[in-house]
Amino acid sequence: MENSLFKSLLGEGENPKGVLKGNSLEFDLQNKSIYKGIEKCLFLFLLLGLVSVSSCKKEVGNVIVEGRVINVGTQKPIEGVTVVIENEVSFTPSHLDSTFTNANGEFRIELPNEADAWVYLRKEGWTFHSSSLNNVTGYLTYYPVGTTSNVKFEMYPKAWFAGNFLSTSPMVGDSLYYMRLPYSSSIDYFGGGDRIFKGLGPFSASTNPDGSLIRGDLFFRYGLNYTKNGEWFVKVDSVYVGAFETFTDTIYY
């Protein structure tokens, strides 16, 4: 087997000076034909390696993103949003750029000589909500080389809920469960809650005197599970809270 392997390295017709001793093959390395065979083999290995590396290499070019940023509640444009594009998900990316949205909420941003890029939004008092593309990872959105147009981003402003709950016929032995409910998904609330209150009330919805942080320009939904005259009831309701407003009214049940 060693002879046939050795011959295949050298090529047909080659006859090196060598003899078999046990399981090893001794030969004269001065024979140029041996060097030729080894060089041929090394060249093939090198070629295969280069092909493999080049096939894994990403295309490099300009990553361009064009779009608009709007308020998820009002669907109106948001001016002055900082749009940041960077070449990697990192606190210290090696290549990044930024721009601002105009009065129509529009922007165009570009990162040259990259294989792909990530975009995120920043504006004091506002939080990223969604992208019109299926490209969201946390608060970042991903883009390949080329131009991606008509991207719609949604953000929502801060607001606070500091409402109070009060029974229309309070009694000392009354109980009330309160629960925050999702903004957009279907509601299946059958009772129970994050907090329970007992007594006459009124009961504060938040442990923070400034109120609980919620999304502005949207209907804040909540569920109540309460007793009245010894009987349990369930109520699902909502209140609209504008951007940067604090809801402080009393809600009767």
pLDDT above 70: percentage of residues in the chain: 77
| Domains (range + CATH), the chain | 2-56 (no CATH), 61-157 (2.60.40.10), 162-252 (no CATH)
Between 200 and 27, whose confidence is greater? Answer: 200
Q: pTM score, two decimals?
A: 0.73
DSSP 172-224: TT-EEEEEE--SSSPP---S--SEEEESS--EES-SSTT-EEEETTEEEEEEE
Can you give the pLDDT at residue 37? Answer: 55
Mean predicted confidence (pLDDT) in 208-225: 96
Lowest mean pLDDT among 148-157, 182-191, 238-247: 182-191
Mean predicted confidence (pLDDT) in 51-56: 42
Question: Residue 174: is its pLDDT beyond 60?
Answer: yes
Q: What is the pLDDT of residues 83-124, one digit of tens each?
A: 999 998 888 889 999 999 999 999 999 999 999 999 999 999
Q: Which residues pair with 130 in a beta bridge?
A: 154
Residue 165 and residue 195 in contact, taking contact as beta carbons nearer than 8 Å:
no
